[in-house]
Structure 1
Amino acid sequence: MAALRTVSGNTGMISLFLLCVIAAAKSDEQVPLVAWASDGFALSPVNAPSAGHTVSVEELESHLNTALSTTPHNLLLFLQDKLSVDDFTLYGGVFGNKQDSVFKNLEAALLSSSLWLPSVSSSATALVSTLLQNQIDAAPLYMNPDTLAQLRLNASVAALLVFRLPYSGGADMMSTKEVLSGNDEVIGQVLSIMKAQSVPYTAVFTALGPSRVLEEASPAVHSVWSRSLLQSRREETTAPKPPVEFKEKGSTCILLWAEKLVVSQYRSGKWERHDFAPKTFGEGVAPDLSGSSCNETHSRLVLNYEDVLDYRSFKLIFVMNRRHYKVSARHWFTMDLVHLEYDGKNATFNGSRHIYAPAEYSYRCESVSSSRYPQLSPHSDKDNANDWQIFFDDFQIQGFNVAGKDFSYASDCASFFTPGIWMGLVTSLLMVLVLTYGLHMIMQLRTMDRFDDPKGPAISVPQTE
């Protein structure tokens, strides 16, 4: 028996490998999967995949091994031909009256803990039978409720029972609803038989492929340990981190925010980088703003740090000025300089040519850099700016006319004629030129002045030597 079990395990692994190779060529369409256990048992918690991630074959195997590690080894696999998350939305009463749901038996079974994966690769669900088979070293038995009722199962002997369920995906939506309702009745009958025989079980419900192609990305992939069927909890969106706020005489006069504040120094033949954002933004983070100042024409924001890039003292300084320009007849502010002060040394970058906005607005840019497409350039060759690089991601700053704790309307650094707009204009121009040339050629067509009459004399064309 031990030898047979070893051979069976090796055969299962070989089969799984071959099926994985075959399934790799298939497109990974998304199929939901739900698992639960009989009363008195709970699935082990599974680390939820990241939002928008489609579970692969290897990940599904890991999730099943973890979730089913503490549940009975009498496995029930309800394998439907096709299934999508939209089927639960349309026919499950998620947004309507739950009395109209066609998944009543499935909902009742999920009153205990359950594992819900809305987005699993169809190539992975096609192998779910093999994954379960390898977990308990038992060959699958394809059953129906009538056959199951005639069997006497042993709770101590592992078994894998597979129930194939149809799906109707035609234009008649009522027929699809009736088929799904019939499938739910099959699930109810099977679970009733297992309960009548006092056999604990672990059940998995999924499909071989999707019933429809979703136009949008599937919902976030995560596990649900609750009493609700497929009403998957949306991950709470994290609130944006508050900006740095400098106050002068009790009123805010400078605001700064960035996703990343990266400063890199070239030494020992490589670039060493440091991101100041975690020490600058976030709840409970209070950066040292000593040395900052502001008035109607000049603003200076100083961010003080310690023990950065092996420097005991490091300062990141933003210098902004407000001026009146006669040509535009309005006030503008510019971020003239960005200073780096570290242990008595300096590195200064000039940004006045690219970083500017009306004085009533804030300035925002997706990327502010001193290297690629630089908005910041070394201010002088006499300091150490050439040994440093600056990169600010999702950068926004306002040094004048700040009202409250919120930024004013943002003047974005993106120009109107973006590369996409230029491509569209050039393509349209080429199409207009081709159309104009075609119309010109058609207008140049002329009919013949004379036609050859077979009953009359032939038209003679004089030839010249």
Structure 2
Amino acid sequence: MATTGTLQLRRISADLTLFLALFGALTTGKCDEQVPLILWTSEGISLPSQPPPAAGHIVDQQQLASYLEKALNVGPRNVVLFLQDKMSIEDFTMYGGAFGNKQDSVFPNLEGALMSSSSPLVLPAVSWPASNAVIGQLQDQLETSPLYMDPETLSQLRLNASSAALLVFRLPYGVGVDLMSAKEILSGNDEMIGQVLSTMKTQAVPYTAIYTALRPSREAASLSMEAGLGGGRSLLQARGSHRERERERERQRRIKEKANLYAPVEFKEDGETCILLWAKGLTVSVLRSSQWEEHDLTPNTFGEDVNPKLHGSSCDKTKSRLVLNYENVLGHSSFKLIFAMSQRHYKVSARRWFTLDTVELDYDGAKATFNGSRNIYAPAEYSYRCESVTNYRWPLLIPHSSKDRANQWRVSFEDFQIQGFNVSGINFSYASDCAGFFSPGIWMGLMTSLLMVLVLTYGLHMIMQLRTMDRFDDPKGPAISVPQTE
């Protein structure tokens, strides 16, 4: 069994080495849109053999759903999903990962799991919008909600082989750190994977494990330079054009900031305002012929002389629906941007909360739906605000279903604020911001202050422990004699 697993691992390693070389030659400029996905089962469980994609091919959302469906139809329906913030296939090759031959591998637990599995599946290049939708795909196929876990809470959970379960473990990845610290983070993630797999083994429940990421960890330009691939001139041109686009976007942003602030979109029901929407920018993009075509909806939505069409909108005490109607957007004569919200009472928090359930694009009868209820929510009497709401690059919106057309669309809301309940006048209520309170700078200040307090406390303790001598030798008086005993 071990010999067979070793042969499989060597075959996978050779295939992936070839894949990496072909990626640099065939997909220059697109490597930053790929993440790997690894699937394996617990020891003793076999899956039907699935051929890997051709070298240089990027697995899209529909193909990924097909791979997962074939695996889950036969394999265990207790799924353990390790979802890392960022990852690229080069993380394995650089750090002696599960597919390398280095002795100082930082993935010993992942290596052991792949070797013990009789039918591992490695997809080196999955489009990261597809990997973002993997939770939704698994949820649809297993017909169960995901449980976000950590190794400690997993040990308290009792699983049943006859019922499906989707256990999600989030793994970090350093942003803007050096190579050594990134290696340490990946090593820590592998230790966490080992803890989880050890706990699953003690429960004697067969499982299917998946390891992937939300977005790639490296840019195409840096990867090509590190790999020593050709095409340097075109690469520099691509990077230069990217910089030019960034400069143009920055210039447009500054122009918008200098302009007067516009009022929010206001929908009234029975003469009373019940929905408010404001954003610095509303942008949609569609994928056509491997190119993203972008359209800015902001000028047609906000402004002093702009009256957006809101027919189809509605609101009541439990549900609100804001429909923005447009014409001639990206070649579609009829285009709608729909925000569906709901509110209900939660017993745990003893208060009402509202969620942005879906963001829907309706274009000439076709639909693309994004789910936002998992990330976009606020107390019912508040509004919700976030600096960036997108379905890509730290996405808060995810495709509603694996069969949806949302993977062909990108939506981006800049400086976004919405309120669908308890609106008073034309002003937003207090905003619940998506930004976390404890930023890295705050944590650094807290830890530094705590260290200084500990040093000061230790110093005061040492000073308080000082004691003077009970008796001193007087040089003008008789000397202190100390009797000696023999």
Task: State the TM-score, normalized to the length of structure 1.
Answer: 0.43
Greater helix share, 1 or 2? 2
Task: State the TM-score, normalized to the length of structure 2.
Answer: 0.41
- Please identify the structure whose Cα radius of gyration is greater: 1
